[in-house]
Amino acid sequence: MVYLFWSRHSPFYEPRLLDPAYYHGWALRILSGDFLGDPVFYGLPLYPYFLALGYKLFHGSILAIKTVQVFLGVSTLFFVYKIGEKTAGSAVGLLAAGIGAFYGPLFFHETIFIPESLGVPLYAVGFYLFLVFLEKRSFLRGLVLGVVFGLAALTKAGIILFIFSFCVIFFLRLLRKRESLWPVLACLLGFLLTLLPVTAHNYLYGKDRVFLTYHAGLNLYIGNHPGAEGVFAAPEGMGSNVDAQLEDSRKLAERALGRSLKPSEISKYWRDKALRFVVQNPRQFLKLCARKLLLFFDAREISDVEDYEFSKNFVPFLKWPWVTFGALGPFVLLGFLACWKCRHRFWIYLWTASYLLGVMLYFVNARYRLPLLSVFFVMAAVGLFRVYESWKARAWPRVFLYAFILLAGVWVTQLRLVGTSWARDYVNAGDVYLEKEEPGEAMRFYEKALSIDPGSAKAHLAMGLALSKSGRADEAKERYLKVIEIDPSNSQAYNNLGMWYDRKGDGEEAERLFLKAVELKPHSFQAHNNLGMVYGKRGQYEKAIHEFGIALELNPKSYRAHTNLGLVFYRLGEKGEALRHWEKALEINPEFQDAKLALKLFAGRES
């Protein structure tokens, strides 16, 4: 709660960027009446519905939602204790919960709008209930366990491999012993029934056969292609936020195959690309898997949303000496090697290995490690107890062995296989202020990003946007030229430069730049819209209608394209069609002033 209080000073407190913005927006759409959401789910749906319920109960309070997530984190620690008690005794359980209570990355991530804030406690509850199920199996316990596993899978699908593995193992054991299969069947039934509404939604509403979501194929490709490094990096031609990836992945796949694709076909396209890489480069793939395994145990919090270390710039509370994975990791590895006295150790290994296998097939980041923390805390406590017991018994050979294992663990966690740069984080912080219409504050962060990485095309592009919003258009132009010098394939820079020339009245140069932007990124609705504006100003209305039509085909919710298309139809005398597009623009964005002005002038002239 103390951290939550101080985190209000962070620019990332509100969910304005990346995944938090995606889930926040999804929750708001649910509240506005779009309960079914997209015809086929791109992201796992439990968390946005949880958010929507919270917004409904707490009247849209972000603080209230984060407080609920904090208390869910406290419940996680209770189940950490129970897991420790079940596997190694109450003393280990208490120590494990104590480690978790002071683990900085845990309370840090609990206040971020990401599915893991709900998934981490569900994973902890699920594994604890599984241990209870092992001790006394019954139909009801199996059914409850299956439901909890299903809910956990709807926040993070990494649990699925464990569920089917344990069911197969139990089926084989119980068949051999001729014991009842009903408890295990009940677990499987509860699990599948919990997931059934999602699959049914995709099939009945989206008319597509997608089990849960259709982003798996793209994620597989992100983790497995010739330039992959084991961490998230948006593929060439795609944006870094979820909405951009959703749209860009679709358009790139459709462009490659030359036809419109269903979500399942989009996922298959990217999955097939990834599998071709694996088949054609088996040695590189195995090296990449080994790299991901080592990255999973990296001491740093490799972030794709908010960075733990970077956030210390805004929340001094994080600078306190909290436990981090740098300290935890070596003892976790020791605990796994020294847990011979632990009960249910086979299942601890299977739980961990099955989840790790899923991560190794995709890519690594800090929040993907969170679901395993409930077991990692216990293993770290086991490791600490083994060191203490050996030291107390003066069993020096064992002490030296444990010391060697800990040193090996330090080596693994400190490998630093990928570089660290806060340039991206400073750009993200600046983007928050730019969205809040504070370009001066945004530029301060962009300058810091450029001081770290002067060759960051993303930072120069963002600086250009901020300068443009500050009325310093000529300085913005220089930034766009710098972006093109650094990255000649940057479509957005050509588009923004075209806007500069258009405002200066140089329509020919603006047209050339917009055409270049379209050439580089044919699915850029912005470039098509801007090209239509150039043609509309020249009176080339057929060309303008064509470009606006493409823009709306690419993005049917572009209120600017609807407004511009309405203006063209009005000039052609097709007033009914013009009115329809202006009304559509205001339906999408009721606050868009250009559409309001067009309707006002239209009403005045008609009267």
Q: Residue ranges of the domains in the chain? A: 2-210+314-410
pLDDT band at residue 251, thresholds of 50, 70 and 90? confident
| Alpha carbons 328 and 312: distance in angstroms, whole number | 20
| Alpha carbons 416 and 363: distance in angstroms, whole number | 16
pLDDT of the residue at 604: 66
CA nearest to 552, candidates 564, 535, 567, 539: 564
Mean pLDDT, range 339-344, rounded to an integer:
88
Check whether 536 has a pLDDT greater than 80. yes
pLDDT of the residue at 606: 59
pLDDT of the residue at 180: 80
pLDDT band at residue 87, thresholds of 50, 70 and 90? very high
CA atoms within 13 A on the CB side of 226: 3
Mean pLDDT, range 307-313, rounded to an integer:
93
CA nearest to 137, candidates 157, 165, 166, 161: 166
pLDDT band at residue 304, thresholds of 50, 70 and 90? confident
Please report the DSSP string for 293-308 in residue order: HHHHT-SS---SS--T
pLDDT of the residue at 605: 65
| Alpha carbons 213 and 190: distance in angstroms, whole number | 20
Which residues, at least 6 apart from 423, have a Cβ–Cβ distance to it below 8 Å? 449, 450, 452, 453, 456, 459
Which residues, at least 6 apart from 518, have a Cβ–Cβ distance to it below 8 Å? 491, 524, 527, 528, 531
- Phi/psi for 40 (5° steps) reads -125, 130
Range scoring the smallest mean pLDDT among 285-299, 310-324, 562-576: 562-576
Mean pLDDT, range 528-537, rounded to an integer:
92
Alpha helices in 201-241 (DSSP H): 216-223
DSSP designation for 266: H
pLDDT of the residue at 593: 86
| Alpha carbons 156 and 362: distance in angstroms, whole number | 13
Mean pLDDT, range 557-566, rounded to an integer:
90
Check whether 370 has a pLDDT greater than 70. yes
Check whether 237 has a pLDDT greater than 80. no
Give the whole-number percent of the chain exceeding pLDDT 90.
75
pLDDT of the residue at 340: 84
Per-residue tokens: 529: 């819209």
- Phi/psi for 364 (5° steps) reads -115, 140
At 103 the three-state DSSP class reads: strand
Check whether 199 has a pLDDT greater than 90. yes
pLDDT of the residue at 554: 84
Mean pLDDT, range 142-160, rounded to an integer:
96
Give the whole-number percent of the chain exceeding pLDDT 70.
99
CA atoms within 13 A on the CB side of 422: 16
Q: 72, 110 in Cβ contact below 8 A?
A: yes
Encode burial over 444-469: b for 16+ CB neighbours within 10 A, e otherwise. Answer: ebbebbbeebeebbbbbbbbbbbbbb
At 345 the three-state DSSP class reads: helix
pLDDT band at residue 157, thresholds of 50, 70 and 90? very high
pLDDT of the residue at 590: 84
Longest C-alpha distance within the chain, in Å? 98
- Phi/psi for 316 (5° steps) reads -60, -25
| Alpha carbons 443 and 441: distance in angstroms, whole number | 5
Q: 530, 514 in Cβ contact below 8 A?
A: yes
**Chain-wide mean pLDDT for the chain?**
92
pLDDT of the residue at 562: 92
